[in-house]
Amino acid sequence: MRIAVASDHGGFKLKQEVLEYLRSRGIAVQDCGTFSEDSVDYPDVVLPVAEAVAGGEYDRAILLCGTGIGVSMVANKVPGVRAAVCSDTFSARHSRAHNDANVLTLGERIVGPGLAREIVAVWLETGFEGGRHARRVDKITAVEEKYGARRS
Ligand code: RB5
């Protein structure tokens, strides 16, 4: 699985924790920045990564900011991206099983490093259940098409 990880300055420290955790498990990840705690605007960092997920360059992405909210808002503007803000493992599991989320977003000011590791683990290990959930996810795609957005 090709995984990208990115954050703004508000999620930088937790990004480093997530990268360290994934690499300690032997999971290859691409660090797409930001690379310091200097202030950046999260749309600038997140948009190229979300586009790369939608374009198939990465299978999944994990995006971080102070709350996880701003990065999720940007990512969800990109057709084909289904980003889920998760602050607990139940949401992480269901975002995969029911929503086929391909982007996980986390807030450094909300979630500590230990919980973040558990959320990431559950999110990566849980498969999409398909069935009735596939019909619903297809309807999300139909909403994108209704408003003129199509995958590149
Ligand atoms: C940056 O201060 C903060 O606004 C950002 O990291 C994020 O929480 C926005 O949603």
Give yes or no: 9 in active site: no
Give the model's confidence band at 4: pLDDT under 50 very low, under 70 low, under 90 confident, else very high: very high
Q: Is 84 within 8 Å of 112 (Cβ atoms)?
A: no
Give yes or no: 98 in active site: yes
| Paired residues of 61 in beta bridges | 4, 103
CATH of 3-147, one of 3.40.1400.10, 3.40.50.300, 3.50.50.60, 3.20.20.120: 3.40.1400.10
Give the model's confidence band at 150: pLDDT under 50 very low, under 70 low, under 90 confident, else very high: low
The helix/strand/coil state of 9 is: helix
Residue 74: predicted pLDDT: 98
Q: Give the C-alpha distances (Å, rounded to integers) separating 119 from 70, 79, 115, 139.
A: 19, 25, 6, 26
Within 10 A of 36 (CB to CB), how many other CB atoms are there? 9
User: Which is more confidently placed, 108 or 149?
Assistant: 108
Give the model's confidence band at 148: pLDDT under 50 very low, under 70 low, under 90 confident, else very high: confident
Parse the chain into domains and list their residue ranges: 3-147
Backbone angles phi, psi at 67, to 5 degrees: -115, -20
Q: What is the pLDDT of residues 49-71, one digit of tens each?
A: 999 999 999 999 999 999 999 99
Q: What is the pLDDT of residues 108-146, one digit of tens each?
A: 999 999 999 999 999 999 999 999 999 999 999 999 999
Residue 151: predicted pLDDT: 55
- Ligand 1 centroid to residue 83 C-alpha, Å: 16
* Of 34, 46, 63, 67, best ligand 1 pocket probe by most atoms within 8 Å of the beta carbon: 67
Closest to 107 (Cα-Cα) out of 124, 85, 123 = 85
| Residue 6 in this model has a pLDDT that exceeds 80 | yes
Q: Give the C-alpha distances (Å, rounded to integers) separating 25 from 6, 19, 120, 139.
A: 19, 10, 12, 35
pTM of the model: 0.97
* Of 15, 42, 105, 106, best ligand 1 pocket probe by most atoms within 8 Å of the beta carbon: 42
Q: Which of 65, 86, 94, 133 is catalytic?
A: 65
